[in-house]
Amino acid sequence: MANVQSFVNNPYQENTYLLFDETGECAIIDPGMYTAPEQNAVTNFIKENNLKPVLLLNTHCHIDHVLGNKFVFDQYNLKPKFHIGESDTLAAVVAYAPAMGIRYELSPMPDEFLPETGTIKFGNTELELIFAPGHSPAHLCFYDKAANILIGGDVLFRNSIGRTDLPGGNYSLLIKNIEEKLFVLPDDCTVYPGHGPETTIGYEKQTNPYL
């Protein structure tokens, strides 16, 4: 059964997630670590719990979710995996980072891209891919059915949704994907979003003002 550890990183207060199970293998999802203390918090947790990072996943490739890609590659020799439709989004970061006053170390590109549907495995854990663009052009969420948890990126937040005013954003598409792909998950599924506190599918169905 997968466990989740979260870290709040960078000026955007982005949630970086470690998913790990009893095998000790772990997936690093949306590494946003920016400062040395943020980097140390993640590597120390991995060390202290004898974890072995085997996967680097990006739900999408906005700057706050990829700031640590290069660091993770340097530390653990892992290249990121994301949907090919996010490639342009990642390529754009190097151009806009300086304007935002952010130091960005160039992320490596994937050796292989993730498909829209299917599963990705590590240890004894299987993550189902859920393709939910709208916040970004080819956003993926990762659903662990056994643990009943969703690493949701910037699609659905507690009482909010991902912004759709960035390049590749589409409000009606985002709403459609939340309703058709996320709201079919169990009501008690815990959603771990890219920003802010976790929530559940059932809670958002009842209270989210956007839906």
Summarised one tens digit per residue, pLDDT across range 85-122 is 999 999 999 999 999 999 999 999 999 999 999 999 99
The pLDDT > 90 percentage for the chain reads: 99
pLDDT at 193: 98
- pLDDT tens figures, 7-54: 999 999 999 999 999 999 999 999 999 999 999 999 999 999 999 999
The strand pairing partners of 80, in sequence order, are 56
Query: Which DSSP state fits 114?
Result: B
Q: What is the CATH number of domain 3-207?
A: 3.60.15.10
Q: How far apart are CA 178 and CA 167, in angstroms?
A: 19
Token match 């990006």: residue?
58
Whether the Cβ atoms of residue 193 and residue 29 lie closer than 8 Å to each other: no
pLDDT level of residue 179 (50, 70, 90 thresholds): very high
pLDDT at 1: 87
Q: How far apart are CA 94 and CA 73, in angstroms?
A: 17
Mean local confidence (pLDDT), 149-154:
98
pLDDT at 109: 98
Regarding pTM above 0.75, the answer is yes
pLDDT level of residue 5 (50, 70, 90 thresholds): very high
The pLDDT > 70 percentage for the chain reads: 100
DSSP assignment of 1-59, as one string?
--EEEEEEETTTTEEEEEEE-TTSEEEEES----SHHHHHHHHHHHHHTT-EEEEEE-S
- pLDDT tens figures, 62-73: 999 999 999 999
Three-state SS at 130: strand
**φ, ψ (nearest 5 deg) of residue 6:** -115, 150
**φ, ψ (nearest 5 deg) of residue 138:** -145, 50
Q: How far apart are CA 146 and CA 157, in angstroms?
A: 22
Mean local confidence (pLDDT), 161-188:
97
Q: How far apart are CA 7 and CA 179, in angstroms?
A: 28
Mean local confidence (pLDDT), 130-156:
98
pLDDT at 142 over 90: yes
Mean local confidence (pLDDT), 171-191:
98
Whether the Cβ atoms of residue 195 and residue 157 lie closer than 8 Å to each other: yes
